[in-house]
Amino acid sequence: MTKSARKSRRPPPKGYDEVKPTLDAFAERIEELSGVSSEETTWKMFQLLHQRSRYIYEMYYRKHAISKELYDWLLKARLGDPLLIAKWKKQGYENLCCLRCIDTGSIGGKTTCICRVPKGSMTATDDDVKTIRCRPCGCRGCASGD
């Protein structure tokens, strides 16, 4: 059982056993990264948390493979980020990497993070595009249509 699952008071609803192996694998990789502090690790950590939220989102909203009860339970157990998932439901934010990339306050006055700019509308050269990573989470581009 994962740390976060242990913390929640209610026992997991039916269906949890089916998502558990995937969530446990995520928990393991996240645990491995915690304790190491470098920019690269922070990005990797971000990606894992993102993928885990994404997994829950897809299981519920796309594949309809888990119940509302289980979905709510997973979010309560902090296995997915409800704010991020709320964004994915909006048009234009389907691939959003993290909330910090649209929080204009945290990226030094810029209106949108570089990763939110569709590649097609970039004026940068190909080489620039390849090396683009946003500071908060190391995303290489998450605009819809990329």
Binding residues vs Zn ion (CB under 5 A): 97-98, 101, 115, 136-137, 139, 142
Q: Which one, 55 or 93, has the nearer CB to Zn ion?
A: 93
Question: Any idea of the CA torsion for 53, 57, 60, 61, to the nearest 10 degrees?
Answer: 170
For residue 79, the minimal CB distance to Zn ion (Å) is 19
For residue 141, the minimal CB distance to Zn ion (Å) is 6
DSSP 11-78: PPPTTHHHHHHHHHHHHHHHHHHTT--SHHHHHHHHHHHHHHHHHHHIIIIIS--S-HHHHHHHHHTT
Q: Which one, 5 or 49, has the nearer CB to Zn ion?
A: 49
For residue 83, the minimal CB distance to Zn ion (Å) is 13
Q: Which one, 80 or 136, has the nearer CB to Zn ion?
A: 136
